[in-house]
Amino acid sequence: MKKLILIGFAMGVFWGPFGCVRNPVTGKRQIVLVSEAEEIAMGQKSDPQVREEYGVAAGERLQDYVDGLGHKLVRVSHRPNLEWHFTVVDSPVVNAFALPGGYVYVTRGILAYLGNEAELAGVMGHEIGHVTARHSVRQITRDEFAQIGLGAGSVMSPALSQLGGVAQSGLGMMFLRFGRDDEREADRLGVEYAARAAYDPRQVSSFFDVLGRLSAAEDRQTIPGWLSTHPNPPDRVEATRKEAEEWIQMLGLPEERMTVNRDPFLREIDGMTFGCNPREGFSEGRLFYHPELEFQIEFPADWRVDNAREAVISTEPQRRGSIQLTVAAAPRGMTARDYVRALALHGLLPARTREVQIHGYTAILASYSGASAAFIEFREKIYQIVGVGRLKDAFEQTVQSFDRITNERILNVKPDRLKVYDAKDGETLRSLAEESRNPRVTADDLAVLNRMAIDQPITPGRLVKLVEPGY
């Protein structure tokens, strides 16, 4: 009984400052623990971290194009008065996501696989829908009430009174998992907003066909939230196709008034970086190169290498050991020895250290409980290499391989780029793939990009997407 009274008291506290408000989309009253001002503040706090984490795709014209389309859609949305922000992030993954308060992101990876502007409108409308329906706010509220259910202690805890860890965690906002009902509602809103903005809403379902092919093709990384929690693509195709027809009838949209904009969209993405950018690191055999930072390192044979924006991680095939390389968070000009001392002051005491020279660069090798580390002074930065698990001689060999890149081919490497091409008579995707000689993009890849069979004759003058090799 005491527990029930405490929970009731907490409900009363929350009902006061936040309480029962109308959802902007459904018009139904719902209990939420986050005000609109706090919702906006969450997005403002997380946006710089998203930009730092993923980078902003180069090309002011492309950013302006996506921003313009986004604002066209929000004018017909349920929350047109929010201060909306639209950004193309520099990631090759096929994804789009949104943060509370009006922050919407699309990756250059998803732009490459879209077929026209109407499809982009549907994808962006979906993410706008997450914001207009306040799905993040509802998820935070569900999480907080779940904490209340854990007992009286959690009811009165400071974390709960401050809206809990999730609401305050910056990038953690990206990792909120929407339920299937939220995703279906966002799909419906994507179709609705596209239709209201006079785009052909039937095009939305076409992209879900491509998503299905991509998700089945290989293990592609995604920014949290897209393929992992969304309904299965075949189900989405059927549902969004039906909803599109309903909106066409409801709005009385004649065929000639529904915008698709295939060729203009393709012209906008022409020249965009495609796939992983080798300037930010790539492997050739056992060697990993980072042309921007001008270093190279050799990882053990047969170990998997994963390159992220903040770290390069090499993992032993049976996952019994790993080696991670990062740039230390040290002031410019700090020595490796001083950095090790600074770590010790914060409780990370090495069992032993020794100073060595690696290809002429000063390095401190240190042993810690359960880990080995090397701190190398290179180009006014400190590179830290940490090994954990069963490494035998692999760690020392990897550390000793660290060096400056001298190969001009590697230093001047350029990324692959999307090329929009006017097809000539008699050409097929197979013949175009053979002509481009890009080892990273096959005729089958071009078939997914262009939604055509590889041996299908292409109508002369039709624009097709190719990938121009950069390295």
- Residue ranges per structural domain of the chain: 2-269, 289-407, 417-468
Q: How confident is the model at residue 158 (pLDDT cuts 50, 70, 90)?
A: very low
Task: Choose among 239, 233, 244: nearest CA to 208.
Answer: 233
Whose tokens are 């946006």? That residue is 47
Rounded CA separation 463/424 (Å): 10
Q: How far apart are CA 67 and CA 83, in angstroms?
A: 12
Lowest mean pLDDT segment, chosen from 13-22, 60-69, 371-380, 446-455: 13-22
Instruction: State the Rg of the chain over Cα.
Output: 26
What would the mean pLDDT of 71-87 be, rounded to a whole number? 97
Q: Which phi-psi region, left, alpha or beta, contains residue 3 (left: φ > 0; alpha: ψ -120 to 50)? A: alpha
More confident residue, 235 or 460: 460
Domain 417-468: give its CATH code: 3.10.350
- Residue-averaged pLDDT of the chain: 84
CA angle (265, 269, 274) in 5-degree steps: 140
Measured between alpha carbons, how far is residue 434 from residues 113, 263, 271, 430 in Å?
21, 24, 20, 6
The amino acid at 69: L
What's the pLDDT at 28?
Answer: 63
Does residue 207 surpass a pLDDT of 70?
A: yes
Q: Is residue 262 classed as helix, strand or coil in its secondary structure?
A: helix
Mean pLDDT along residues 36-45: 90
Inform me whether the pLDDT recorded for 280 exceeds 50.
yes
Enumerate residues 6+ apart whose C-beta is below 8 A from 407: none
Query: Tell me, what's the pLDDT at 142?
Result: 57
Could you say which architecture CATH assigns to the domain 289-407? Answer: 3-Layer(aba) Sandwich (3.40)
pLDDT at 167: 35
Question: What does the pLDDT read at residue 465?
Answer: 98
Q: How far apart are CA 169 and CA 7, in angstroms?
A: 25
Given a contact cutoff of 8 angstroms between Cβ atoms, the answer to whether 361 and 352 are in contact is no
Res 21: pLDDT = 65
Q: Phi-psi category of 285—alpha, beta or left, where left has phi over 0 and alpha has psi -120 to 50?
A: left
Structure confidence by residue, pLDDT tens digits, 373-432: 999 999 999 999 999 998 879 999 999 999 999 999 999 999 999 999 999 999 999 999
Higher pLDDT, 360 or 9: 360
- Secondary structure of residue 371 in the 3-state scheme: strand
